[in-house]
Chain A
Amino acid sequence: MSYEFLVASAIGVLVAGGIYLALRARTFQVVLGLTLISYAVNLFLFASGRLVVGRPPIWDKAVSQYTDPLPQALVLTAIVITFGMTAFVVILSLRSFLETGSDHVDGDNVPCDAQDGMAGSTAEDGEDTRP
């Protein structure tokens, strides 16, 4: 089995799992799904410079063949951005859960009184446990 096949199927499995989770109803699963998708994207970007092993990315007198350094720079940027965004979306879904009492991405199907009860108790719990 070739190296390319392994990387390609890994990306495919990550994307499939990511899409499945991103389509779920609750924010936690959606966040996990987005994380899986972003892993897949990072791997994909990395692979877009072709898969080569043991070659230098920058100029060297002794060698004639290089690995492409640009995708590595792109991946670095993408990782930083997705890392920040994941942190943000975790906090946002937590706030949304605490304020609306529902962790559904589309929270319309949760009955109103259940929402209120959850919102109240969870918010209080959160404050009580603060050191």
Chain B
Amino acid sequence: MTLADHLPILPVIIPALAAPIVLLVMRRRPTLGVTVSVASCFALLATAIMLMMQVSNGTIFAYAVGEWPAPFGIVLVADRLAAMMLVLTACLALIALLHALVTGADRKGWHFHALFQFQLMGLNGAFLTGDLFNLFVFFEVLLIASYGLMLHGQGPARLKAGVQYVVVNLVGSSLFLIALGMLYALTGTLNMADMGLRVAAVPPEDQGLLRIAALLLVSVFALKAAVAPLHLWLVRTYAVSTPAVAALFAIMTKVGVYSLIRVVPQVFGEGAGAAAWVPAPYLLPAAMVSAIIGFAGVFVARSLSEQAAYAVIGSTGTLLIAVAGWSAESLGAGLYYLAHSTLAAAALFLVADVVARRRGAFGDNASPGPVFAQRGGIALLFMAAAIAATGLPPLSGFIGKLLILKSVAALPDWGWAWGAILGTTFIGVVGFARVGSAVFWKTAGEGTAPAGYATRADLAAPAIALALLAALAAGAGWVSAYTDAAAAQVLDPAQSARAVLTEAGQ
């Protein structure tokens, strides 16, 4: 076997090796530790892009860990969707890491870089795994790292939000395990592809159990994605996290959406009896409510970071409106919007931090304060991020929303979906305009802003995020062709089952 054959496991191995190294060298040689951390992120980006190039022709790589054949051992599956999520994670990680290094946020505790690497390991593993229990394990890895990262910097507000965040996620993990236990008892397998084939054979008297298990599993993913009734944990957590960390967390809700997209067509597809497309009737209403709650929150938010957190909920809602169609077109549009909304949310969190660092006691409160350094330039950054988050031209949010509107127009409930998307866009625009004018136009009080903040270096990370969004808009044709192909591949579970159970099963 050459190194290329082992490509699918590298995104898990690289951070898994980097994290302990960083942990060991950080106290004595912080520069070396930071270098390792940055190098690991670059290596991840390179690996992800190589993987993406290999799968872009439609092949599905099934990597049997330890050469244990497929339904018995653990497989990693790299297809278009997984490769896309890996590239997105790596880009986001580099941006967040750059911001943490430039602003010195990583020096507020010893273990920022180690936790950051473990977080990346969990994210990459969750995107790659083809095994349901392994998905749980990687969820736990990324959650445990996220608890540490979320508390990074400490302080009473973070600790209080941290307790709630941890408790909610522990309950979520318990539900995940219950769902897994039921599915294993019913199908006798944990491999997603294998389970997808076996659910059809579940006897009629067990259909009720199957349906309960499927709904439990979907609820857990909905909790991670912060969909409407389960969104309450998100705002407080994200708003008090260190902004560089919050920017990385922008992809955490997308892990829930990804799991939904991955598991539902593969396991609970057409042949699943009582569990066929089980979340379908609930997903669209829940998605619309979360879009409305999210953008209403953008409208009433008291600070820029809180606003960014609400924008995460709103964008996840918009994304799920597209996913709820379960058609190749709408899912393709949704995946394009997923990439966009992750970067847009990260840009919002970073701009909020840039503002807070210059306004002293005013922080990122959505109230007028004294004039602060580089206000004009930052106002432009905020405007660009707001344009991206609400989905106005010329950035990629507009194209994403346009694709979603176009694709859901073919579905039966399109009127509701259009109403929710267009209405929330309007509320979002007004909300961002209100906060933006309060922070950047109005002036109250005399120069209490800390002087001497002359560096512009911390503008780099949000600017890069916005540049990526512009690139996403410029390359929209290529990207949306890729996401359409990824959606078609996800909705054809037979293809991936063949790849997993025959290639890796030898």
Contact = CB atoms under 8 A, between A and B. Distances in A.
A17 interface: no
A89 interface: yes
Interface residues of B, number: 28
A106 to B, nearest CB: 7
B178 A92 contact: no
B180 interface: yes
A106 B164 contact: yes
B156 A71 contact: no
A84 B154 CA distance: 20
Contacts of B163: 27, 89, 92-93, 96, 105
A34 B137 CA distance: 18
B479 interface: no
Interface centre among B147, B162, B170 (most CB of A within 10 A): B170
B474 interface: no
Contacts of B151: 92
A74 to B, nearest CB: 6
A38 B164 CA distance: 17
A102 B170 CA distance: 21
Contacts of B160: 96, 100, 102, 107
Nearest to A74: B133
Contacts of B181: 41, 44-45, 47-48, 71, 74
Interface string A76-109: 0110011011001100110110011010011100
B159 A100 contact: yes
A92 B164 contact: no
A70 interface: yes
Contacts, number: 86
A34 B167 contact: yes
Contacts of B300: none
Contacts of A45: 177, 180-181
B197 interface: no
A55 interface: no
Contact of A74 (B162, B170, B180): B180
Contacts of A78: 177
Contacts of B159: 92, 95-96, 99-100
A44 B178 contact: yes
A108 to B, nearest CB: 9
A105 B170 CA distance: 14
Contacts of A40: 174
A111 to B, nearest CB: 15
Interface in A99-131: 99-100, 102, 105-107
B185 interface: yes
Nearest to A77: B137
Interface in B165-215: 166-167, 170-171, 173-174, 177-178, 180-182, 184-185, 190
B144 interface: yes
Contact of B166 (A37, A92, A99): A92
A22 B163 CA distance: 12
B154 to A, nearest CB: 8
Contacts of B185: 48-50
B326 to A, nearest CB: 29
A74 B180 CA distance: 10
Contacts of A95: 159
A99 B156 contact: yes
Interface string B111-154: 00000000000000000000001000100100010010001001
Contacts of A102: 160
B184 A48 contact: yes
Contacts of B177: 41, 44-45, 78
A37 B144 contact: no
Interface string A13-55: 0000000001000010010001001101100110111100000
A81 B140 contact: yes
A74 B140 CA distance: 14
B264 to A, nearest CB: 22
16 contacts: A34-B170, A34-B171, A41-B178, A45-B180, A50-B185, A81-B137, A82-B173, A88-B147, A92-B147, A92-B162, A92-B163, A96-B163, A100-B156, A100-B160, A105-B164, A106-B164
- 5 shortest interchain CB distances as A-B pairs: A48-B181, A48-B185, A96-B159, A100-B156, A45-B181
Interface of A: 22, 27, 30, 34, 37-38, 40-41, 44-45, 47-50, 70-71, 74, 77-78, 81-82, 84-85, 88-89, 92-93, 95-96, 99-100, 102, 105-107
Given A45-B177, A70-B190, A82-B170, 18 more contacts: A22-B171, A30-B167, A34-B174, A41-B177, A48-B182, A48-B184, A74-B180, A85-B170, A85-B173, A92-B147, A92-B162, A92-B163, A96-B160, A96-B162, A99-B156, A99-B159, A100-B160, A107-B160
